[in-house]
Structure 1
Amino acid sequence: MSSPINKIELRNLNLEDYLELKTSMVDAYSDEGIDDLYWNKTEIKRLLKVFPQGQLVILVDDVVVGAALSIIVDEKRITMNHTYNQITANGMFTTHSEKGTVLYGIDVFIHPNYRGLRLGRRLYDARKEMCENLNLRAIVFAGRMPNYSQYSKELTPRQYIEKVKNKEIHDPVISFQLNNDFHIEKLMRNYLEGDRYSKEYAVLLEWNNILYDPESSIINTRKSVIRLGLIQWQMRPLNNLEEFFDQAEFFIDAVSGYESDFATFPELFIAPLMADYNHLSESEAIREITKFTPAIHNKFQEFAISYNINIITGSMPLLEDGVLYNVGFLCKRDGTSEMYRKIHITPNERLYWGMQGGSVIQTFDTDCGKIGIIICYDVEFPELSRLLGEQGMEILFVPYLTDTQNGYTRVRNCAQARAIENECYVAITGCVGNLPKVNNMDIQFGQAAVFTPSDFAFPTNGVKAEATPNTEMTLIVDVDLNLLKELHEHGSVRIKKDRRNDLYSLKAK
């Protein structure tokens, strides 16, 4: 390329572009060892009739210098061995199906005079955007191996592909595709007749659409942006259970009024109910308030339905077969509920209350994706969150109760680490203020927050939002689950993908 470029344009192909398209295609393929390969005008007319939005061209100073042509096919067609002529029906394109789930790339080329300008990447990015907009599962095509003829006497096709994957050999087609997030599915023989540079071999390559929704119904479609309502609860004396319900309902009403999908309460926020039993020992007092747990569970389930919100009830004590647990409930707006238990018990909980830890490690399916819920001290054990992450957790909720800033700092820093390690959102909320006349629960320190992974799509410091410390308030935060999918596949680092499971693994007993 000798002259300067004034304008680059990417748009859909028109039939009027045909002569320029043909010229660029002939020059592109003759430069790669294939002579007289081009689509005739009748074939292009058919292609534009069956799938006009799938045909892209790139222009430099109003001249077509490259194109990306495609059809939609049924997935069964790509699982079978096929040739170029078979997948295109010899230029009739009867293989195109509006009911298909795969965008099949039948051609892509850049005129040799305009290579090195990343124009091919523009075409591929536009193809990916098309795939997402049409809600197709993947982009698939057979990539040529134009450098294979140089190595065919010493390497089999599979050996050649492995060396290209390991960057020992550069192949202008396959190397480009691997760098563009495509992965190799299989080797294909006799794909393109006359491709002497590739010895008529090709590699079936695939790019998966992480936003693909196989159940794309208008009603009950799962949202990608989820609104979290975190309640930073002020400890205060309460005369009875009804006063507790009134205060809880006030906050549920408030966060649901802002159309939050979740309302999250802190750990042991029902502690004010122990005031009537302060004359007893700590272990006896907390066992007395376990009698309120069933009523609280039922009431919060009513709130979840009436306010159309999923409620994470923080935690409360539960006495089961004489054993004291620290538990909470996920009360869903569909009328169902599930229990979670604190797994790791602090020395203080064990000493003063005689609590024991639960033994079930699980995630929960909700209408807003898969979530994990762990309680306070649990977040300081990275193995637990890792196991939840491997189960597909997208948001981790951590209700906590910390009396000093030291304890809060442990919870906060560990929660932030869990967001990075597991490429998920982590939401924490706790109690604040003082609670006189309740032994072992007199002071609290808290600051609700939502943490994110650390990459360009997220806040630089990994903090999506945080509340004012030690002040009763709500924190309402939107999180985008699609950003997590993008991070998993295309992040600066890909922690979930790059773990060396060949060297170490983690599993629950």
Structure 2
Amino acid sequence: MYKKELYLYIGDRPVKAVVRNYKTNDFKALIEIQKESFPPPFPSDLWWNEEQLKNHVALFQNGALCVEIDGVIAGSMTGLLISFDPAHPEHTWEEVTDSGYIRNHENSGNTLYVVDICVRPSYRKFNLGKLLMQSMYEVVIHLGVDRLIGGGRMPGYQRHAEKMSPQEYVQSVMAGDLYDPVISFLLRSGRTPVAVVSNYIEDAESQNNALLMEWKNPFK
């Protein structure tokens, strides 16, 4: 089981944070976080449901993390283990995560794959996304797998799709000429680009593309 306690700051005020595995009695709060993080017109059937959350806890609790601020669950991150071949990066989110149900989790997998990360909007000033990502890196090291990997949305791409390819857009973000709220966040959190994956998930802002990004276990 994972549990980490630390203090975060809002101005000069320290606030206690706890990162831990989520459990059955956290499900209601986790679904509320999804509703707040992905409001309409985001499809409500893509929010977590209880069956998915039960699978996360039962099949791979190491990959089911949440963060509390002053006792309030403010964000979560979920992963599963897969056997990943870097030479063949093409896949969809639905295929690799079993549509969020993770029934394809492999205990002997070599890669921790990010299923989802979300933080309540009112708590984003605490940089909890980065905290959750760093915590999942610790899970990678604990399990001794090769890497953490996941597809990052490219929400800024829609504004540039007529004049550049997804690959050119990523190159511009990497060069610092453009800013993308997801890719830039993942870069700041320690992730590095692997490949652009087309038709990854239905996402108009990203034109259905995602940037596959990894964090390699430094002890492997």
- Shorter-chain TM-score bucket reads 0.7 to 0.9
Q: TM-score, normalised by structure 2?
A: 0.87
Q: What 5-or-longer segments of structure 2 have no aligned partner?
A: 1-9
The question of 1:41 aligning with 2:41 is answered no
> Pairwise mapping of residues 236-275 of structure 1 onto structure 2 (< 5 A)?
none
Quote how far apart the aligned CAs of 1:148 are.
Answer: 1.4
Equivalent residues of 2:51, 2:101 under 8 A apart: no
Change (3 A) 1:60 1:180: same
The question of 1:105 aligning with 2:114 is answered yes
The aligned counterpart of 1:81 is 90
3-state SS of 2:173 partner? helix
CA distance in 2 between counterparts of 1:200 and 1:146 reads 10
Quote how far apart the aligned CAs of 1:110 are.
Answer: 1.3
The aligned counterpart of 1:276 is none
Letter of the structure 1 residue corresponding to residue 28 of structure 2: L
Quote how far apart the aligned CAs of 1:71 are.
Answer: 0.4
The aligned counterpart of 1:121 is 130
3-state SS of 1:173 partner? helix
> Pairwise mapping of residues 273-284 of structure 1 onto structure 2 (< 5 A)?
none
| Runs of 4+ off more than 3 Å | 4-7
The question of 1:204 aligning with 2:212 is answered yes
CA distance in 1 between counterparts of 2:43 and 2:99 reads 18
Equivalent residues of 2:147, 2:214 under 8 A apart: yes
3-state SS of 1:115 partner? helix
Q: Deviations over 1:63-110 (max 9, x none)?
A: 222111000111249834111110112333232111111010111111
Q: TM-score, normalised by structure 1?
A: 0.39
The aligned counterpart of 1:183 is 192
4, 12, 23: which one aligns with 1:14: 23
Q: State the percentage of identical aligned residues.
A: 27
- CA-atom RMSD, angstroms? 2.1
The aligned counterpart of 1:96 is 105
Quote how far apart the aligned CAs of 1:5 are.
Answer: 8.0
CA distance in 2 between counterparts of 1:11 and 1:162 reads 36
The question of 1:53 aligning with 2:62 is answered yes
> Pairwise mapping of residues 291-306 of structure 1 onto structure 2 (< 5 A)?
none
Equivalent residues of 1:5, 1:61 under 8 A apart: no
CA distance in 1 between counterparts of 2:200 and 2:19 reads 29
Pick 1 or 2: higher relative contact order, CA cutoff 8 A, min separation 6.
2
Aligned residue pairs: how many? 208
Change (3 A) 1:7 1:181: closer
The aligned counterpart of 1:457 is none
Change (3 A) 1:52 1:78: farther
Q: What 5-or-longer segments of structure 1 have no aligned partner?
A: 213-509
Quote how far apart the aligned CAs of 1:182 are.
Answer: 1.4
Q: Deviations over 1:134-173 (max 9, x none)?
A: 1010001000111212222232211111111011111111
Equivalent residues of 2:77, 2:116 under 8 A apart: yes
CA distance in 1 between counterparts of 2:92 and 2:38 reads 18
CA distance in 1 between counterparts of 2:30 and 2:77 reads 11
Letter of the structure 2 residue corresponding to residue 208 of structure 1: K
Change (3 A) 1:156 1:80: closer
Letter of the structure 2 residue corresponding to residue 204 of structure 1: L
Equivalent residues of 1:11, 1:56 under 8 A apart: yes
CA distance in 1 between counterparts of 2:172 and 2:67 reads 32
Change (3 A) 1:30 1:167: farther
CA distance in 2 between counterparts of 1:181 and 1:152 reads 26
Change (3 A) 1:104 1:149: same
> Pairwise mapping of residues 447-486 of structure 1 onto structure 2 (< 5 A)?
none
The question of 1:140 aligning with 2:149 is answered yes
Q: Which has the larger radius of gyration?
A: 1
Quote how far apart the aligned CAs of 1:10 are.
Answer: 1.2
CA distance in 2 between counterparts of 1:113 and 1:150 reads 27
